[in-house]
Each structure stands twice: as C-alpha cells, then as structure tokens.
Amino acid sequence: MLDLPSIRELITLIPPLLLALTLHEYAHGWIADRLGDPTARLQGRLTLNPLPHLDPVGALAFLLFKFGWAKPVPVNASNFRSPLRDMMWVAAAGPAANLLLATASSMILQVMPWMSFPAWFAAPLYRMLEMSVLLNVILAIFNFVPIPPLDGSRVLVGLLPPREAVAYSRLEPYGFIILIVLIYTGIVGRVIWPVVSTVAGFLLGA
C-alpha cells in the first residue's frame, strides 16, 4: 500500500518543494544564458514561475514514491566557448542554488521567534521553512551524485581529462537505470543520508 501524504503534509510540502525545484532549474538556465546559451530563455524556461518547470509524471512520482523530478532546462552546449567546462558550471548551479535556499530558509527560521505572527500562521510557516531546509539539502546532495543524468555526472565530466571524460560519458544511456537500481536497493540512501543529516542538522540547529 502506498503511503500517501495527508492534506496537512501536502500544504507544508508543496510550496517549499515547488520553490526548490523551480530555483534549481532556473539556476541551470540562468548560468547557461550567462555563458552564451540562450536556449532556456528563448523557450520560456528562464522564469521563476514553477509551471513551465513541472513534469507531471515526476511530480506524481514524488508524491507516491518520495522520488521525483522536474522538467530539465534545455541546454545547447554547442553555444559555449568551452562545452565541457561550461556544462560543469551549468550543472553545479542547480545544487548550489538549493544550498543557498536551504541557508536562507535556516536564517529566516532563526529570526522567526522575534516576529509577532499569529499562531495559526506561524506554525505552518515554521514547518514549511523546516521542510525547505531539508528538501533543498536533499536535492543538492542527491544531484551531486556522479551518476547520469544527475548534475554530479556533468560536474565530474568537466573535471576529468578529455579521454576519461569521453569514456565516462558513454555511461549516460544506462545512467537512469543504474540510478533507479541504486535508489531502490538503498545504496544511494546509505551514501548520501549521512551527508544530508549533517548539513541539514547544522542548518536547523544553527
């Protein structure tokens, strides 16, 4: 039986999740645009409106299986001066944006006790901010895993010597299958969860 979230859980989960996914994809497109590739901007994806970034199947999968995805921002590496290096920066921008958002959410949490919000508003806001910290840390750390199609794989390709980068890129057609197997066998969780717990624990306890 699927463990479906309650209405209360959805209310506190959906806003920080949409913001986290939107900022992640926007950061990819913004850096790509700055480095010479206008593809995301020309296709209307350089926006903070979450709707263009939503993948209906990915959103449903997240609610049902606690694992989902957004619609990737289109990037044409041939527009870059140095495709491997610039793709590395584009890839790193998404997780970096999530870490910045997690930090910002943590800072707001720290000042909330000095704000005079009514209890009916403060309680769900506090929970949303906590979820924002946790979700953004999870997205950042998970996406840094160097397995295609995750951002970490493109960062790794940008760091490897050209010959090794080409060899590693040949894994991409099989990356999604490898990733699914590693997720459902619990290997990815065992690798990233200690890092997630440390970073999120620091930000929530700062």
pLDDT over 70 (residue 206): no
pLDDT score of 4: 57
pLDDT over 70 (residue 66): no
pLDDT over 80 (residue 63): no
**Confidence band of 95 (pLDDT split at 50, 70, 90):** very high
> Residues 25, 130, 164, 172: which is the catalytic one?
25
For the chain, what percent of residues have pLDDT higher than 70?
94
Average pLDDT over residues 185-200: 92
25 is catalytic: yes
Average pLDDT over residues 158-184: 87
pLDDT score of 1: 46
Average pLDDT over residues 166-184: 87
Give the count of alpha carbons within 13 A of 191, CB side only: 14
Question: Which stretch of DSSP H or E encloses residue 77?
Answer: none
- Note the maximum CA span of the chain: 60
Model confidence pLDDT, tens digit, residues 101-122: 999 999 999 998 888 777 778 8
- Least confident range of 2-16, 21-35, 48-62, 152-166: 2-16
Does residue 23 sit in helix, strand or coil?
helix
DSSP 47-115: SS-SGGG--HHHHHHHHHHS----PPPP--GGGSSSHHHHHHHHHHHHHHHHHHHHHHHHHHHHHGGGS
Radius of gyration of the chain (CA): 18
Q: Where are the domains of the chain?
A: 7-205
Q: Name the pTM for this structure.
A: 0.89
